[in-house]
Structures are given as structure tokens and as C-alpha cells.
Amino acid sequence: MIKQMTSQKKRDGGIIKFSLYIFKFILITKVLIFLSFETIAKTNKSFYVIRDAEIEFFLQNLINDLLVNKNLKINSILPRLILDENYNAFVVGDNKIYVNTGLIQNSTSKEEIQGVLAHELGHLFLGHIQSRKLKIRNNNKKIFVSTIAFLGLALGKEQNLSGVLIATQDLMKKNQSKFSKHQELEADIYAINSLNNMNVSLLGMQNFHVKAKSKQEILGSPYQQYYSTHPSSEERLNLIKNFIRENPTKLSTNLNFKTFSINLETLKLKTFVYHKNLSKLESIQDYEETKLQNYLELSKLYLRGDIKNSIRLAEELKKSEPQNPYNYLLSGDINVQSNKLDKAISEYKYAIKLINKNTLNALPKISLAKALIKKENEYSLVEALNILEEIMPYESSTTFFWRLIAEASGKLKLKSKAYIALAEEQILKKNIKKAKQFALLGLQDKKLDFIYKLRAEDILNLK
């Protein structure tokens, strides 16, 4: 009996072959886990958010026009600027549209940007985010089943293991691509209809896809086209041409208000400063318009560290457009850099006075609070804390905001408020255990303000 079993093992390749089967199974299982986590990681890609009052105001106005067109509440969808030179924008399922600095840098009109924003609103309002999340979960299940099925073939027929993995990924990607292309075309149609209803020229949207087509031709390959998660630029351009109509609206780089305007070119220059791209600024030809030229020179001087001459040009900008609040905000920011806090505070307060005539904007108040905290006297700290508490309903979703409250409260020896602020910061960082510890410390103060007490109790009730 023992001899018969031994000979059978020899015929089947013996214990070595069996061990190879086990090794293959373990290897493919590890790869499967990696692929699943890779899919999740792609949907949770980290990015660096820039908060800039002027750029957000510009984008918010373009979004609000689209919301009004659909009879939706203004400011219900918010823009966020991402430090990324890719020519794009995206949504991830909340009430925000994330706009890459690259979209601003490469656009030639505000209509071009508004077309992209309209497309992203389409994704939000057509339920694509929820569908995409469901698709990801289903694909994780499918790849598992497919891999196990192909694993059986590989073990039974000596099929190459790497080929099995490629085939399995291939099926999943092809399936995702078809689904995503359908959504993208729906979002395009939503954007086209919205812009036509608003009498906004589709040439801006068309220009976006012409540029995208050019980039695709430079970088493209048959494989990139096959795996593309978007319809080809040619398809999208044909779609726009089918809907385009005679439109009296011309493309523009200006967003005009009663007392001032915002020029897309100044926003471009500002994004190059955020990227610290001095070489790009130095390569830009001089502008004919004095205001734009001063902004260009100021940007270059600022990146070179010449704060004194930066302040001088900021004063020139204020003279050229004295009712533009964002010129005063710029001056305030530069004066903070040179530690001229009283001047900066004065500039911020005047900017806020001008802004309040036009719209609610909490960011300038955060800048003011930062400057007041930096002064470090009791009066300025109390003022800073009052300002931060006033804008709490609008800015409570950022860790930086809560860190400022913690700093101001700590310096005023209001430890309980500081603890609650630190608890809120930890919630945003997904550290519930630590958040509850801070909340408990804050609740030890029996005289804690009601709003802070309520927030602390909510944190303690989190599961």
C-alpha cells in the first residue's frame, strides 16, 4: 500500500509539485489583496488643498450661476483648490468640487472653467458617485471570483500565473471603463444643457476638449485608449458640435462686479506663486495692462523674497482698483510676512468691509484671526476667538480652523475650549479615541459654553 502511494506521488510530480500549487495559491491571494487595496487607494488619493479667498470667490460665482439655473440653493456646492498642475477638476461625493490649479493655469476663458464645473455638477446631481462606489464594491467581489476561477485553470493546466493575473485585471478594467464612459457622456450632456440654458457659449467647453485631445495625441497609445476611463476627446467634441448653437455670448477672462473685477490672468499668476514656480513667472512676457504687469512683478519679487518691493507694488494695485477687496487681502498677507501686524490687521478689516457688500466669505476672517493671534496680547486674542466662533458654522470642516481656536483659547487660558477644539481636529483626522479623550477633558469645566458642551457630547456619542 505504501509503495503504491509513493509511485502515485511520483506520477503526479510528488510533494514538490504539490508545494508549488500551494505557493501559487498563496502568491495569487497576496496579489488579490494588493489589487483590492490598490483600487480603494485610487479612490482615496490624498491631495493638498489651498485656501485662497479670491480664487474661491471666482469659482463660487461660476458654480452659483449653474445652481441658480437649476433652481438650487447658492453656495450649496463649494469649490476647493488643489495644488496639482493636471488640467482637470473632480468630485468625490461630498458637496465640493475640487479644482486643480492646472485647470486655472491652462484655461483661456472663464467659460472654459465653467464648462468643467458644469460637468462635475452633472456627476453629483446624476447620482454617479453612488453608482461608482457600488461599482467598486462589486468589482472587488468580481475580481476575487474571477481570480479563483482562473487559479483553478492555472493549477490544473500549468497556465502561466502572471498571464492569469493580467487577464483578470484586464476584464475588470474593461468593465469599469465601459461604465465610466457612459457616466462621462451623461455628465457632458448635463453640462451642455446647463450652459445652453444660461446662454453661456459652448466654445469654452469645446476649447477644453481640444486641449485634452492634443494632450491625448502627445501621450496616447492604443493601450491608453483601451483603458481610458473617459470617452475620447473626439467623441466629446462631436457631442458638443451637435448641441452648439448661435450664441451672442463671447468668451471672457473677466468676472465683473459693480465696483471691481477679477481677471483670470491674475489667478493664473497666483497659482504659479503657490507652486513656487519662479521660472514660469520669469518666462511670461510683459503685459500691456499696467495692473496685470504690476501683479506679475509683485509675484516674482515675492518668490525672490523681496518683501519690501512686494508691499510697494501691492500699494499700486490698491490705487488702480481701490474697491477690490482682494487687493487689500493681498497687501495684508504680505505685511504679515514682514511682521507688520497692525498694518496687516487694518488691511484685512477693510477687505472684509468691502467683501461683506458682495458675499459671505469666511476666509478673510480666518486671515484676520491669524494676524490677531500672532499679536499675542489679550485684547487681540479675545477678538480673534470671537471672529473664529462667528464663522464656526462655515469653516468647521477643516483641521486648520480648529487648530486656530485651540491656539487662541490656550493663550487665553481657556483650556476647556482648547480641548474641545483639539477633539474636533482629531475627529477630522479620523482618530475618534483621542477625540473622546479631549472631549472628556473639556467637559470637566462646568462653566463651558453651551455650543462647546454640545459639540463635546456629540463626540462622546460617536460609535
pLDDT in tens, 76-98: 999 999 999 999 999 887 789 99
Handedness of CA 128, 229, 46, 166 (dihedral sign): positive
Enter the DSSP assignment of 284.
S
What region, left, alpha or beta, does residue 127 occupy, with left being phi > 0 and alpha being psi -120 to 50 degrees?
left
Rounded mean pLDDT of 31-43? 47
Contact 330, 317 (CB under 8 A): yes
| Global pTM value | 0.80
- With a pLDDT cut of 90, the percent of the chain lying above it is 60
- What's the N-to-C CA distance of the chain in angstroms? 61
pLDDT at 387: 96
pLDDT in tens, 316-363: 999 999 999 999 999 999 999 999 999 999 999 999 999 876 556 789
Calculate the CA 273 to chain-centre distance: 18
Mean pLDDT of the chain: 82
Does residue 184 surpass a pLDDT of 80?
A: yes
Confidence of residue 428 (pLDDT cuts 50, 70, 90): very high
pLDDT at 5: 44
Cα–Cα distance, 364 to 326 (Å, whole number): 9
Mapped onto helix, strand or coil, the DSSP state of residue 251 is coil
Which domains, and CATH codes, for the chain? 49-140+154-243 (3.30.2010.10), 256-360 (1.25.40.10), 362-463 (1.25.40)
Does residue 449 surpass a pLDDT of 80?
A: yes
Nearest Cα neighbor of 402 from 349, 455, 358, 356 is 455
pLDDT in tens, 206-256: 999 888 877 666 555 444 444 455 677 778 888 888 887 765 568 999 999
Does residue 178 surpass a pLDDT of 50?
A: no
**What cell does 162 get?**
502572471
Does residue 133 surpass a pLDDT of 80?
A: no
